[in-house]
Amino acid sequence: MKTRVDELLSDVKDPELKEKYRYLILTLLEKGYFPGLEGVPVIKSGISHIDGENGLLTYRGYPVQELAEYCTYEDICYLLIYGDLPLLKERVQLRNELFTKKDLPASVSKVIVEMDDNLHPMYMLSSSVLLLQAEDQECACVNDYMLNYRRGLNLIAKLPSILGVFRNKDADFAAGKEFDSFAQYCLYVFNPELAFDKNWVNVFEKILILHADHTMNNSTFSVRAVASSLASIYASIASAINSLSGPLHGGANERAIKMFEEIGSPDNVESYIEEKLARKERIMGIGHRIYKTYDPRSLYMKNKILPMVFGEDSIIEVDEEMVNLYEIARKIEQVVLEKLSGKKLYPNVDFWSGLILKAIGIEPEYFTTIFALGRILGWVSHWIEHMKIRNKIFRPEQLYNGIGTRHIILDAEEESATTNNGI
Ligand code: ACO
């Protein structure tokens, strides 16, 4: 069979493409469908690109490490949405626009303040995004491109405010306050003191940038799938937030830090990992669908951002508990690389990010909301891009494995009752 597939693909010259087609044909022949849509291209997009074999991620062509090193949150917002990095003037304009749009309508902040504290922040966030639709009565009109840009920026601007109002139980959270940058405002939501320390803002901004887009991941695919029914930006972004909350996607950062705490000491790491693997359980923060080598975002976090917090020359102070968790994480990395490198599994971005977020004083249940504050740039860009293409609604197929067609069998009494009713 494999030889026949190779014959079929003999005209495909690009070796990478050939390998992709080969995988798809063999999967179809073997399984009859594509579990998890693995390897299946579902859209054409010019926003970001991953080379999983070589550990490369680019936003609009720029490697993510360079963007994290030299750019601001506003730059990445502009780059992803409009396609290029802004001039200084454009960056300032965008920043002003975000700050002009950041405050929530009173009706929405009132509802958010009343929301139950037991509601997970991710579900609070998705519900609140839907509430924002009330101030956009034209939301069903999705093909007014200028309006779509404004809608996108409006959502980006309001996301941290939703979190600030809920977390602080303050309907007027940050109203009238001024900030130097949007990343500073995002950090202010979680730690007003650290938000005035430039080093912490720098660290936080890099985390947001690293999360900003990542091709057709589960939450971005949710945006595209919902958008393909021509549903509103609110419906599409809310569905993305819900997708991101899952432990196999963005929710892994919350689980990873809990795992470090559960392990307690670097000495316990080896036995913990061995037991997990023996029970065939997943180690949170490890593995990725696309990367067959170290994820470049994860590598940047490990080599560039973590030393800013935990390194010997760090200008940021962290306590002993944090240092212990950092040591545990490093030991897990070592054990995982030893035991699982054959499966090409490496720590992903969610493995390292929680250490920094915890050092900032953010509660683990809020970790995934910070992922969302970064990723909303990508989600909005994908929604806008989607509304510009010649859309075809996502409507895949299934292989039915249920019961064959059958009929309701009535007994004599039921049959006569039905017949009489019919008369
Ligand atoms: N721990 C242990 N083994 C793992 C892990 C893990 N975290 N991840 C994958 N594997 C193993 C699987 O058991 C499987 O082994 P097998 O071939 O012997 O059966 C092999 O690696 C391939 O795994 P799949 O499930 O086929 O990989 P898939 O691409 O479907 O899943 C995923 C990717 C969901 C990220 C997976 O690696 C995982 O569950 N990781 C833990 C959760 C996590 O960290 N999620 C965050 C992802 S990154 C992000 O969303 C930002």
12-25 pLDDT tens trace: 989 888 999 999 99
Residue with the smallest CA separation from ligand 1 atom 4 is: 282
The pLDDT of residue 241? 98
Q: Which atom of ligand 1 is nearest to the CA of 286?
A: 7
Residue with the smallest CA separation from ligand 1 atom 39 is: 248
Whether 341 shows a pLDDT value over 70: the answer reads: yes
Whether 2 shows a pLDDT value over 80: the answer reads: no
Active site residue 313: no
Kindly indicate the confidence band of residue 421, based on its pLDDT and cuts at 50, 70 and 90: low
Lowest-confidence region among 52-61, 177-186, 312-321: 312-321
Kindly indicate the confidence band of residue 40, based on its pLDDT and cuts at 50, 70 and 90: very high
Domains, the chain, in order of start with CATH, read 48-389 (1.10.580.10)
Whether 109 shows a pLDDT value over 70: the answer reads: yes
Kindly indicate the confidence band of residue 4, based on its pLDDT and cuts at 50, 70 and 90: confident
User: For ligand 1, is residue 254 a contact (CB within 6 Å)?
Assistant: no
Ligand 1: residue of 343, 349, 357 to mutate (most ligand atoms within 8 A of CB) is 343
Whether 258 shows a pLDDT value over 90: the answer reads: yes
Kindly indicate the confidence band of residue 386, based on its pLDDT and cuts at 50, 70 and 90: very high
The pLDDT of residue 1? 73
User: For ligand 1, is residue 343 a contact (CB within 6 Å)?
Assistant: yes
Active site residue 288: yes
Taking residues 144-151, report their average pLDDT: 95
Per-residue pLDDT tens over the stretch 390-410: 889 999 999 999 999 999 999
The pLDDT of residue 422? 53
Taking residues 126-137, report their average pLDDT: 96
Taking residues 107-115, report their average pLDDT: 97
* Mean pLDDT over each residue of the chain, to the nearest integer: 95
Whether 246 shows a pLDDT value over 70: the answer reads: yes
Distance 343 CA to ligand 1 centre (A): 10
Whether 332 shows a pLDDT value over 80: the answer reads: yes
Distance 337 CA to ligand 1 centre (A): 14
Whether 423 shows a pLDDT value over 60: the answer reads: no
Lowest-confidence region among 128-132, 325-329, 410-414: 410-414
Taking residues 97-103, report their average pLDDT: 97
Kindly indicate the confidence band of residue 316, based on its pLDDT and cuts at 50, 70 and 90: confident
The pLDDT of residue 416? 82
Catalytic residue among 103, 211, 213, 288: 288
What spatial distance separates the first Cα and last Cα of the chain, rounded to whole Å? 62
Distance 349 CA to ligand 1 centre (A): 13
